[in-house]
Chains A and B, each alone.
Chain A
Amino acid sequence: MRPFRFTNAKDAASAVRSLTGNPNARFLAGGTNLLDLMKEDVERPDELIDITRLPLTQIRTITSGPNQGGLSIGGLGRNADAANHPLVRQNYPLLTQAILAGASGQIRNMATNGGNLLQRTRCPYFYEVSMPCNKREPDESSARAGCGALEGINRMHAIFGWSEKCVAVYPSDMAIALAALDATVNVRKADGQERSIAFADFHRLPGDTPEKDTNLNHGELITAIELPRNRFADHSYYLKVRDRSSYAFALVSVAAALEMKENRIVQARIAMGGVAHKPWRALKAEQLLVGKEASDATFRQAAEAEMAGARPLSHNKFKVELSNRSIVRALQMAVNGGKA
C-alpha cells in the first residue's frame, strides 16, 4: 500500500473542507472496499480522513419536509444497525432483507450506509491493474485504457445500459432496495450547504465517463439517506440469485415492492441488481403491473416487457432468462408477504 497521511475529522464542516482542499484525499468510513482497493493499488489516495466518529449515525422518523413521516438513516451508521433497527424492520423490511443479503456479518458491522452506496464495481478487469480498464484509467492515452471485459470474460457483467467504454455492474444490494423505495440522498457540499439527490440520479450509467460512478462531487459528504413513507411493508421481497447461497455478489437480484388492495396491485416498484452500472429500475414492468390483478401470467408479462430491452454480452445471455424468472419469483414472494 502506498503511503498516506491519516487524519481524524473533528466535525462535518472541517471534514468537507479538508477533502475539498486535497483532490487526492478520500474519506475513510467502514473501509471495507477502499482499503481493499488501496492494497490492490487501484485507489491511491495520499490522505485518508477518518469520518467514522462524526455524529451522523442516527435513525429517526422525519418530522417535516417532503419526506415527512418517512425515515432518515444516518450516512455513517453501520449497515448491521440499519438492517436491525426496529423502524426499518417494521416499515421497510425490503431494506433489511437487501442489507442482510450483502457481504457477511463482519463486513456489515463495519460498512457504513453512505459508504455502501459508494462501493466500486467488483469487475475483475477494474481490480487487476495489469488489465485494460477505462474506469480505472480514464486517460485515453494510458497504456491500460480500454475495456477488458467487453470482449473478454463478461459472465458477471451488464445486460442493460452499458457502453463501449464499460460493461461493469454495480455491486450493492442495499442500494437496490433504496432504488425501489424512492430514497433520496442528503449531501453536505463543500460550501457548507446541503443538497438532496433523488436516488435515480445518484448513480450513473457509464457512457463516456465510466470513471464517475455517481453524481457526487469531490468534497461532498453523505449525511443521511431518506425514505419516504410508503405502503409497501406488507408486500415486499428482496431476491438475490448468486453462484453460492451466501457471501457472494449477485448474478441477478430483484427488489419488489407492491401496494395491494385485496388482489389488485395499486402501486409497484421493481429494482434490479447485477444487471447494470447502477440500480436498474424496471419501469416498464412496474407500469404493466399497476391496476392489474396479481397473477403469475401478469408477472410473466411484466418481466418479459422489461427484459425485451436487455442487451446481453457474449458470456451472460443466461442473465436475461434468469432475470425474467427472478422478477416473477420476487413478485410472487412479495404478494405472499415474503413467503414462498
Chain B
Amino acid sequence: MEDNQTPQLTDDEKKLFEDLMPEDLDEILDTGVNRRHFLKLMTLAGGGLLAAHSAVAEQVFTRPLSVPSAPEPASAAIENGVNVSFKVNGAARKLTVDSRMTLLDTLREKLELTGSKKGCDQGQCGACTVLVDGRRVLSCLTLAATCEGRSVQTIEGLAQNQTGSAVRLHPMQAAFLKHDGFQCGFCTPGQICSAVALLEEARTGHASYVTENVRQTAGPVRLSAEEIRERMSGNLCRCGAYPNIVAAIQEVYSGKPVEQTWQFVG
C-alpha cells in the first residue's frame, strides 16, 4: 500500500482507540482494523460501553477509516466516461466512471465503501451482494453505468445511526454476531445483504426450487432450514459457517430467539 493510501485517523478517533485498547493502537495504525479489534469493539458495543464512551464512537463505527481521496478526474479525461447519478445508502452520488467500471469497484474504489467484497469477481461467490432498488444483485457483474437513477444499499447502510447514542445494528447483523455466522468475515457483508433480501422475498411469497407446490401463490412462504439453505446458495462461505448463518436467519425470520450452537469457553 502506498503511503498516501494509509488510513488516517482523526485526533478524536485516535483518542477513542487509545482509550479502548492502548496496546493495539500502533498495530491498528500500521495494518488497519482487523477482526480481533472488530470483535473487541462489538463486545464493548454490546455492553453499551462504546455508546457511553464518546460522541465519536458513532463515527468510528459507521464510516471507514478515511483515506485521502484522489482528485476526481474530469470526465473528458476518462476514455468512454459515463456520467451517472444514483443513491448509495440514501445519499445522492454523482460521478463519472469508466464504462468498464463495475458497481463493486465504484463502491470500493471511488466511494470508499469497502464493506462489499470482491471474492471471485465472476458472479460465483456472492461476496459482492448489494441491494439495488431493494433487490439483491451481484455488484461485480453490474456496470456502474447501468445504475443511473437507482438506489443502492450496501452493508454500510443497514445499521441505523441514532443521534446521541450507539449505532443500532440491523437485526440481521445482530443475529450474525449472536450466532457467530462467520469465521474470517470476508463473505459476511454479502451474506447479510443476501439474507435481508431473502426475508423480503419470502414475505412476498417468492418460491424456490425446494418449495413443494409452486402453484400455491397466496401469502408468504414458510422458511424451513432447507428453504433458507437453497435461497442462500448464491453466497459461498469458505470457512463453512453455514449452520450458524442458517440459525441467524431463522432467528430474524421467526422473531424468536434461536438457541446458539456455540459459546465461549472459560
Residues of A within 8 A of B (CB): 1, 3-6, 8, 28, 31-32, 35-36, 39, 48, 50, 52, 80, 83-84, 86, 89-90, 93, 96-97, 100-101, 103-107, 109-110, 233, 240, 245-247, 338-339
Contacts and interface: CB of A to CB of B under 8 A. Distances in A.
Contact of A104 (B80, B211, B233): B233
Interface of B: 79-80, 82, 98-100, 102, 121-123, 126, 129, 135-138, 141-143, 145-146, 148, 194, 197-198, 201, 205-209, 211-215, 217, 229-235
B209 A106 contact: no
A240 B212 CA distance: 15
B143 A28 contact: yes
Contacts of B122: 36, 39
A8, A83, A104 — most chain B CB neighbours (10 Å): A104
Given A84-B206, A104-B235, 14 more contacts: A4-B99, A4-B100, A32-B141, A36-B141, A39-B122, A48-B99, A84-B207, A101-B209, A105-B231, A106-B138, A246-B209, A246-B233, A247-B233, A338-B214
Nearest to A109: B135
A93 B211 CA distance: 11
Contacts, number: 110
B234 A31 contact: no
B137 A97 contact: no
A246 B208 CA distance: 11
A50 B146 contact: yes
Given A28-B146, A39-B121, A107-B138, A93 B215 contact: yes
B182 to A, nearest CB: 19
A110 B207 contact: no
Given A28-B143, A31-B143, A247-B234, A110 B208 contact: no
A35 B138 CA distance: 12
A120 to B, nearest CB: 14
Contacts of A96: 207, 214
Contact of B100 (A3, A28, A106): A3
Contacts of A8: 148
Contacts of B230: 245-246
Residue of B143, B148, B209 with highest tally of chain A CB at under 10 A: B209
Contact of B207 (A32, A100, A103): A100
A83 B207 contact: yes
A105 B209 contact: no
A86 B209 contact: no
A1 B234 CA distance: 24
Given A96-B207, A100-B209, A32 B215 contact: no
B100 A105 contact: no
A333 to B, nearest CB: 12
Contact of A89 (B123, B207, B229): B207
What 6 A-B pairs come out closest when comparing CB atoms? A104-B234, A246-B233, A6-B99, A247-B233, A100-B209, A109-B135
Contacts of B142: 31, 110
B206 A109 contact: no
A110 B136 CA distance: 9
A163 B214 CA distance: 38
B215 A233 contact: yes
B145 A106 contact: no
A106 B217 contact: no
Contact of B80 (A5, A105, A109, A246): A5
A106 B99 contact: no
Contact of A106 (B121, B136, B143, B229): B136
Contacts of A247: 233-234
B213 A3 contact: no
Nearest to B98: A3
19 contacts: A3-B79, A3-B98, A5-B99, A35-B102, A50-B145, A80-B135, A84-B205, A100-B207, A100-B211, A100-B214, A104-B126, A105-B197, A105-B231, A105-B232, A107-B123, A109-B135, A110-B142, A246-B229, A246-B230
A106 B208 CA distance: 13
A103 B138 CA distance: 12
Nearest to A32: B141
Q: Which of B146, B148, B201, B229 has the most chain A CB atoms inside 10 A of its CB?
A: B146
A339 B98 CA distance: 50
Nearest to B229: A246
A36 B123 contact: yes
Nearest to B135: A109
B201 A105 contact: yes
Contacts of A100: 207-209, 211, 214
A260 B183 CA distance: 52
Contact of A90 (B99, B146, B205, B215): B215
Contacts of A84: 205-207
**Which one of A36, A96, A101, A106 has the highest number of Cβ atoms from chain B below 10 Å of its Cβ?**
A106
A4 B101 CA distance: 11
A8 B83 CA distance: 12
A307 B213 CA distance: 30
Contacts of A32: 123, 138, 141
A31 B136 contact: no
Nearest to B216: A89
Contacts of B213: 338
